Amino acid sequence: MTEEHIDFNVQVPPECQAGVWANFAAVSHSPYEFTLDFVRLSFGGPTQGQGVVVSRVNMSPLFVDQLIEALKENQARWLEQQVEQVDKDSNEEE
């Protein structure tokens, strides 16, 4: 079975354009969906060890597979760029 390519446009509303900072994620699932809680944890001061969920995303198991693949592909490209930058920096020092 071949996958059909579908073009679509995604709009980011102004209130979402800045994004949110998360430094922890918790994943849970039921038989029908996965839930990703993105959390901002505090590592200092009086709130150390406390976390706040900044975004909760519920998704189908099918979409989880697609998300994992997209993350792997993007991480591989990111790592390749990091290696290229280190090589470039090393060559400039010589």
What tens digit of pLDDT does each residue of 31-85 get?
A: 999 999 999 998 888 888 899 999 999 999 999 999 999 999 999 999 999 988 8
The pTM (predicted TM-score) of the whole model is: 0.74
Report residue 7 CA to chain centroid gap.
22
Q: Where are the domains of the chain?
A: 8-59, 61-94
pLDDT digits (tens, 9 = 90+) for 32-44: 999 999 999 988 8
> Phi then psi for 93, rounded to 5 degrees?
-75, -25
- Terminal Cα distance for the chain, rounded: 52
- Spell out a b/e string for 41-51, using b for 16 or more CB atoms within 10 Å of the CB, else e: eeeeeeeeeee
User: Order of strands across the sheet with 24-29?
Assistant: 24-29, 34-41, 51-59
C-alpha dist (Å) from residue 90 to 19, 47, 77, 79: 34, 41, 20, 17
- Answer for the pair 12, 20: CB distance below 8 angstroms, yes or no: no
